[in-house]
């Protein structure tokens, strides 16, 4: 099966590294023109210069800070005033780690702005042209923790669950426009984010970070951490015409980590 996204335009959040970068790269490999979004203009410019253009693509980037909701809304509104997208990948940096006893209501409000309000606002803007064009793909980068909460990620557990249930409702509302909405539940992937979380856990436990990673790998049935490229493959399939009958789903990509159905 060959996936072609030629003449499709994609907007990918959190794409200066890790999973977001891998998604942007694979979408571009399949022919899409990609707009990247993240905080580091230098990193984004470098990635844009490396993305393939042999299928007529044209790539660009937006410097945004998802944690500054009002500033983000201004930037993304200006973007959509002059652009439209066929594929929207909602992905932001994660909120600070910590359990429920370490977080207060202000922390939850900040996480809500970061993970939920930014996603809903961006999607509302993207949907305007998608509905006119009778075609669209909305893909949310979520987490396996919405099914099996991780004690050290209270904010992420809570707000990402809200994103997933919102996406399920949205899928029903926009299906008649040939727009699909799916959420990908992320397991353990070899990213800077997971290295940061492992470092904090190692410090708390008084052990070496390599021990934390080894324990993590042992918990995964396939006995390894995921390669971000594998995430890009799944997202690119969901963005394609081949996935037109897949919507309203929550798809784990976790090497079998989830124990629940």
The string of pLDDT tens digits covering residues 119-131 is 999 999 999 999 9
Predicted pLDDT at 203:
86
Predicted pLDDT at 118:
98
Q: Which domain holds residue 34?
A: 9-189+229-253
> Are 111 and 144 contained in the same domain?
yes
CATH assignment of the domain containing 124: 3.40.50.720
Measured CA to CA, the distance from residue 255 to residue 231 in angstroms comes to 11
Assigned domain for 45 exists:
yes
The string of pLDDT tens digits covering residues 136-173 is 999 999 999 999 998 889 999 999 999 999 999 999 99
Measured CA to CA, the distance from residue 69 to residue 39 in angstroms comes to 13
Measured CA to CA, the distance from residue 73 to residue 80 in angstroms comes to 11
> Are 46 and 65 contained in the same domain?
yes
Predicted pLDDT at 207:
92
pTM: predicted TM-score of the whole model, two decimal places: 0.95
Predicted pLDDT at 1:
85
> Are 66 and 107 contained in the same domain?
yes
Assigned domain for 261 exists:
no
Q: What is the 3-state secondary structure (H, E, C) of the chain?
A: CCCCCCCCEEEECCCCCHHHHHHHHHHHHCCCEEEEEECCHHHHHHHHHHCCCCCCCCCEEEECCCCCHHHHHHHHHHHHHHCCCCEEEECCCCCCCECHHHCCHHHHHHHHHHHHHHHHHHHHHHHHHHHHHCCEEEEEEEEHHHCCCCCCEHHHHHHHHHHHHHHHHHHHHHHHHCEEEEEEEECCECCHHHHHHHHHHHHHHCCCHHHHHHHHHHHCCCCCCECHHHHHHHHHHHCCHHHCCCCCCEEEECCCCCCCC
**155 phi-psi bin (left φ>0, alpha ψ -120 to 50, beta other):** alpha
Task: List the catalytic residue out of 152, 188, 231, 233.
Answer: 152
> Are 96 and 207 contained in the same domain?
no
Predicted pLDDT at 248:
98
Q: Catalytic: 152?
A: yes
Mean pLDDT for the chain? 96
> Are 165 and 216 contained in the same domain?
no
Look up tokens 């694979």; give the residue.
Answer: 26
Number of separate domains in the chain:
2
Predicted pLDDT at 193:
82
- Buried b / exposed e over 110-119, threshold 16 CB at 10 Å, is bbbbbbbbbb
Predicted pLDDT at 261:
86
Predicted pLDDT at 194:
84
> Are 116 and 243 contained in the same domain?
yes
pLDDT along the chain (261 residues), means of 10: 96 97 98 98 98 97 97 98 98 93 97 98 98 98 96 94 98 98 97 84 87 93 97 98 98 97 86
- Burial of residue 178, with CB atoms counted within 10 A of its CB: 0-12 exposed, 13-18 middle, 19 or more buried: middle
Predicted pLDDT at 220:
97
- Burial of residue 149, with CB atoms counted within 10 A of its CB: 0-12 exposed, 13-18 middle, 19 or more buried: middle
Assigned domain for 3 exists:
no
């Amino acid at each position: 099966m060959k996936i072609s996204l030629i003449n499709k335009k994609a907007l990918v959040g959190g794409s200066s590294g890790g999973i977001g970068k891998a998604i942007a790269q694979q979408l571009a490999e399949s022919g899409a023109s990609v707009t990247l979004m993240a905080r580091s203009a230098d990193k984004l410019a470098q990635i844009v210069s490396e993305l393939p253009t042999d299928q007529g693509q044209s790539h660009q980037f937006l410097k945004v800070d998802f944690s500054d909701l009002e500033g983000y809304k201004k930037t993304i509104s200006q973007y959509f005033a002059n652009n439209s997208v066929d594929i929207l990948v909602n992905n932001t940096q994660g909120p600070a780690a910590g359990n429920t006893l370490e977080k207060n209501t202000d922390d939850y409000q900040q996480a809500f702005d970061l993970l939920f309000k930014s996603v809903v606002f961006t999607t509302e803007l993207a949907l305007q042209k998608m509905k006119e064009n009778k075609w669209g793909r909305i893909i949310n980068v979520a987490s396996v923790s919405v099914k099996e909460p991780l004690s050290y990620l209270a904010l992420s557990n809570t707000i990402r669950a809200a994103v997933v249930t919102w996406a399920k409702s949205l899928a029903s509302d926009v299906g008649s426009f040939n727009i699909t909405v799916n959420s990908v539940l992320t397991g353990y992937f070899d990213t800077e984010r997971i290295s940061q979380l492992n470092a904090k856990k190692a410090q708390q436990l008084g052990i070496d970070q390599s021990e934390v990673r080894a324990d993590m790998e042992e918990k995964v049935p396939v006995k390894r951490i995921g390669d971000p490229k594998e995430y890009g493959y799944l997202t690119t399939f969901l963005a394609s015409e081949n996935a037109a009958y897949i919507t309203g789903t929550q798809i784990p990509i976790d090497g079998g980590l989830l124990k629940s159905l």
